[in-house]
Structure 1
């Protein structure tokens, strides 16, 4: 009986670590996507300013 409790405890610990790892990995990718969108908007704005300066 004690042996099964140890095995069950190890499996539960591995499952909990896997869930936390997956949640951490997916949360980071969402933040990076929003940062990239902000960077694209800034680069588009600066490109527009460059075009306006060239047309003047």
Structure 2
């Protein structure tokens, strides 16, 4: 019985890591579009604002 709990625990850990890895790998596309949106907003701003944004 204890052997099966260890095996089940290892499989559960692998499944949790796989889910977190896949979510992390696919979540970057949303962040990239948000960064592009900020870049477009900065390009419409005054030159002083653009310089400040580049320094950040």
- Asked if these proteins are the same fold (TM beyond 0.5), I'd say yes
**TM (normalized to structure 2)?**
0.67
Give the alignment's Cα RMSD to 1 decimal. 1.1
Structure 1: any 5+ residue segments left out of the alignment? 1-12
Greater length-normalized contact order (CA 8 Å, ≥ 6 residues apart): 2
Q: Give the aligned length.
A: 44
**Where do 4+ consecutive residues of structure 1 move more than 3 Å?**
none
Q: Which runs of 5+ in 2 are unaligned?
A: 45-56
